[in-house]
Amino acid sequence: MANLETFREAKDDFIAQWGALGTNWGISRTMAQVHALLMITPEVLSTDQVMEDLHISRGNAHTNLKELVGWGLVRIVIKKGERKEFFEAEKDVWKIFTIVLRERKRREIDPAVSLLGDCLKRSADVGTKEGEAFHKQMKELSDFAKFAGGVGDKISLLQYTPALKLAAKFLS
Amino acid sequence: MANLETFREAKDDFIAQWGALGTNWGISRTMAQVHALLMITPEVLSTDQVMEDLHISRGNAHTNLKELVGWGLVRIVIKKGERKEFFEAEKDVWKIFTIVLRERKRREIDPAVSLLGDCLKRSADVGTKEGEAFHKQMKELSDFAKFAGGVGDKISLLQYTPALKLAAKFLS
DNA sequence: ATGAACTTTCAGTATATTTTGAAATATGGC
DNA sequence: GCCATATTTCAAAATATACTGAAAGTTCAT
C-alpha cells in the first residue's frame, strides 16, 4: 500500500533512471527524461514547466522537445487564448514501440544495407582467396540485413490487436 | 567485373564505414572496426597485425579484442610453437545476430523491466489522478518490456534452419 | 508600427567517452 | 633464477557529445 511520498519518489526515480537508460538506447539522457516526464503527466506541459521540473535550460528543453516531436513521440497542443505551445506524449506503448523501431531501422539497418550492397558489387569476381571470403561475407551480411529490415517494416505495420496481446501473454 | 584495386578499396571502405555504423549501434568505432577486420579476414590475426592494419595503439587493440572475446564474437586461437595469441571472428551471421541480440536485451530491456516493476509496486493505491495515470503507464510499459524481452529470448534460441531461410526470402 | 510574449539558434562551456603510450605484470624457455 | 616475449593496466590527452544562457528571430494583439 503506497502513500503519496513513496509515489513522488517513484516518479522522480522513474524520470531519473529512464534518462540513464536512454543512454543505452542511443538517445541522450535529457531527451529520455523529457519523454519520461511527458509520458507520466496526464496534462500537457509547457517548455517552462519542463525546464523547471527537470532543472534544465531553455535551449535544452526546447531542442529535446522539438526532437521528440520530430520522432512523433510528442505532439504540440495549442490551448485556446494562450500563445504558448504545450506538449503531450504519445502514451500507447505499441505506438511508441513502432515509432522507435522505425527510427532505429532508419539509423542502424538502412545504412548497413546500403554499405553492404555497395561492397558486394565492388568485390565481384576478384579471384583471390581473400576476395572470395570478403565477397561471401558481404553477401551473407547483406542478405541478413535486408531480412532484418524487412521484419522491422512488417512489425511496424502491425496493429496491436487482441491476437498480439495473446501472443504477449505467452511470451512474457 | 571488379579488379584488385577496387577490391582493396571496398575492403577499406567496409572497415571504415562499419566502424562509423558501430557508433549508431552503441559500440565504439574501434570495436566495430576490429570486428569488421576480423570478419573479412580468413586467417587469424595477432594483436600486432590488428594494430598495424587499423593504425591504433596496442592498448586500444588489446582492450577491444578482449571485449569482443567477452561478447563471444571473437575467439582466441593458439598456434603451435608460438607464444602469441591470435584472434578469429565468428563469421556465421545468425550467430552474430543472436549474440548481439542477447547483449542488447541485457543492456536495454532487462534494466527497464526491473525499473518498471519497481515503480509499478511503489505506485499501487496512491489514490490521486496523477497516481492512477502513473500506475497505469508503468503497468503498460512493464508488460510490454517483458513481452519484448520474451520475444528476444525466444529468437536467440532459434536455429537458422531452412524454414527461417525461407521466411527471410519473403521478407527481404 | 510597437512591444510583449514566445521560440529558435548557437558560440562557448562542461561532461563523457575513447585512445594513447608507456609502465607494470605475467608467462615460458632455458 | 634470468631473460625475452607477451599481456594487461591506467593516467593523461584527445575527441565527441550534450548543455547553458543569452542574443536573435518570430508572432500577434493593440
Q: Please state, in angstroms and rounded to a whole number, the distance separating the CA atoms of residues A16 and A22.
A: 10
Look at residue A1 and tell me whether its pLDDT is greater than 60.
no
Q: What is the pLDDT of residues A77-90, one digit of tens each?
A: 999 999 999 999 99
Number of A–B residue contacts, CB under 8 Å: 155
Q: Angle B129-157/A93-104 helices, nearest 10 degrees? A: 50
Find residues 115-154 of chain A whose CB sits inside 8 Å of chain B: 115, 118-119, 121-126, 128-131, 133-134, 137-138, 140-141, 143-144, 146-151, 154
CA A49 distance to own-chain centroid: 23
Q: What is the pLDDT of residues B125-170, one digit of tens each?
A: 888 888 999 999 999 999 999 999 999 999 999 987 877 778 777 7
Task: Give the cell for residue A6.
Answer: 513513496
Q: How far is A25 from chain B (nearest CA, A)?
A: 6
Distance between start and end Cα atoms, chain B = 25
8 Å CB contact of B128 and A154:
no
* B104, B122, B153, best to mutate vs chain A, most A CBs in 10 Å: B122
Q: Is B2 on the interface with A (CB under 8 A)?
A: yes
Q: What is the pLDDT of residues B103-119, one digit of tens each?
A: 999 999 999 999 999 99
Q: Please state, in angstroms and rounded to a whole number, the distance separating the CA atoms of residues B143 and B12.
A: 44
B57 touches strand D (CB under 7 A): no
pLDDT at B74 (0 to 100): 98
